């Protein structure tokens, strides 16, 4: 004797997901909206979703950028010397003064501008160099790719910080542009290797091959078919280059090899170290620049995490939402199967089946 699994009208006796006792109310509501948030537009998929991490990072970056852009117009000359040396923060000097009576708040305003200038310059130069040697070499292939790969490998095995120290030590007058050039020269090889591998992957995709078969010009294939797919990766590399540049400039300046024509966070730390600020307890001299470096680096890292969700599909919030949706559907399906089995195995249903 076989147990029937259908009702007399031929339809399967399966309760709905909302009637399942194994699903919580939150899961039922979430299951009613398949797919989660919509993000179907191509332009929207190139932008990171607004998350708390991205909001905090953008707030900190915009605040520091506005401070560096406008505050230097309203403060005194950072090199102005007075007779109130090593005074604590007060209404007259918001962040105190140095050993020679220079206002720390004025120095911090100009240092923010100098550090951001070096960081942005290095970011642009590093992305330009890595794009040229990575993307162009991978697209052209052949001897050009081999030559560019050899150059990238040579630059990779050279230690960055010692090379920066050697180059900076032989420069009699070190301007901000010169320091930025040294930092960019030592920071493009790694991103170029990443871009080369990604470009070679994109180059072999169907739409790129179709464009070649259709007779499209090489420059159009490169800039229209390949380059847009690399924009999130380039943005991530640019922010990483800015963080590395600010930290590298701070390291060079702390060793006395930084820019001599402008204030930066690194030069402030250098002067504070030479003035024995830590020994004298002048915390207002070295904490503000160190805190700015930490905050700006953390903010760019938070933004970079959001950009990584575009570069790496496994990190996308939409992907996590879809996986959660699949798990809910699987749980609902199992609940329906259990309910159908329980109903078919009930005594009343068995007697009815035997009678029929």
Selection from 86-95, 105-114, 220-229 with the highest mean pLDDT = 105-114
- Residue 129 maps to which CATH number? 1.10.3720.10
* Residue 10 backbone class (left: φ over 0; alpha: ψ -120 to 50; beta: rest): left
Residues 284 and 353 in one domain: no
pLDDT tens digits, one per residue of 296-348: 999 998 888 877 776 666 655 555 666 677 777 777 777 777 777 676 666 65
Q: Which residues, 6 or more positions from 33, have their beta carbon under 8 angstroms from its beta carbon?
A: none
Q: Which residues, 6 or more positions from 273, have their beta carbon under 8 angstroms from its beta carbon?
A: 254, 286
Grade residue 355 by pLDDT with cuts at 50, 70 and 90: low
What pLDDT is attached to residue 122?
A: 93
pLDDT tens digits, one per residue of 45-90: 556 677 788 899 999 999 999 999 999 999 888 888 888 878 888 8
Q: Which domain holds residue 109?
A: 50-312
Residues 147 and 284 in one domain: yes
Residue closest to 100 by CA, chosen among 277, 241, 278, 319: 277
What pLDDT is attached to residue 72?
A: 92
Share of the chain above pLDDT 90, in %: 26
Residues 295 and 324 in one domain: no
pLDDT tens digits, one per residue of 8-40: 444 444 444 444 445 565 555 444 444 444 333
Residues 200 and 339 in one domain: no
What pLDDT is attached to residue 69?
A: 94
User: pTM, whole model, 2 decimals?
Assistant: 0.72
pLDDT tens digits, one per residue of 271-291: 998 888 888 888 999 999 999
The neighbour count for residue 224, using CB atoms within 10 Å, is 12
Residues 154 and 176 in one domain: yes
Residues 339 and 271 in one domain: no
Grade residue 216 by pLDDT with cuts at 50, 70 and 90: confident
Grade residue 126 by pLDDT with cuts at 50, 70 and 90: very high
Residues 307 and 331 in one domain: no
Helix (H) or strand (E) holding 338: helix 317-344
Residues 298 and 340 in one domain: no
Number of domains in the chain: 2
Q: What are phi and psi of 143, to 5 degrees?
A: -65, -35
């Amino acid at each position: 004797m076989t147990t029937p699994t259908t009702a007399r009208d031929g339809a399967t006796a399966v309760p709905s997901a909302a009637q399942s006792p194994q699903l919580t109310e939150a899961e039922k509501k979430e299951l009613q909206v398949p797919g989660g948030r919509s993000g179907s537009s191509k332009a929207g998929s190139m932008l990171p979703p607004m998350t708390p991490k991205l909001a905090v990072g953008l707030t900190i970056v915009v605040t520091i950028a506005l401070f560096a852009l406008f505050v230097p117009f309203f403060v005194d000359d950072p090199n102005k010397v007075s007779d109130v040396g090593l005074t604590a923060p007060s209404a007259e000097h918001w962040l105190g003064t140095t050993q020679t009576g220079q206002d720390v708040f004025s120095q911090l305003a100009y240092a923010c501008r100098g550090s951001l200038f070096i960081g942005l310059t290095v970011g642009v130069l590093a992305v330009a160099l890595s794009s040229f040697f990575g993307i162009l070499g991978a697209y052209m292939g052949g001897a050009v790719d081999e030559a560019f790969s050899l150059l990238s490998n040579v630059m990779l095995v050279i230690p960055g910080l010692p090379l920066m120290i050697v180059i900076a030590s032989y420069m009699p007058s070190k301007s901000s542009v010169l320091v930025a050039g040294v930092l960019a020269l030592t920071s493009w090889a790694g991103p170029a290797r990443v871009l080369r591998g990604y470009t070679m992957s994109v180059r072999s995709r169907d739409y790129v091959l179709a464009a070649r078969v259709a007779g499209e010009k090489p420059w159009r294939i490169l800039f229209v078919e390949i380059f847009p797919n690399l924009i999130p990766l380039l943005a991530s590399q640019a922010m990483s280059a800015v963080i590395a540049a600010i930290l590298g400039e701070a390291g060079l300046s702390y060793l006395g090899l930084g820019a001599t024509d402008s204030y930066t966070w690194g030069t402030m730390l250098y002067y504070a170290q030479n003035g024995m600020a830590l020994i004298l307890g002048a915390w207002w001299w070295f904490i503000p620049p160190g805190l700015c470096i930490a905050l700006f680096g953390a903010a760019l890292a938070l933004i970079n995490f959001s950009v990584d969700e575009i570069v790496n599909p496994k990190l996308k919030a939409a992907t996590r939402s879809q996986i959660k949706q699949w798990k809910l559907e699987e749980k609902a399906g199992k609940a329906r199967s259990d309910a159908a089995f329980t109903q078919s195995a009930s005594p009343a249903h068995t007697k009815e089946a035997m009678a029929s």
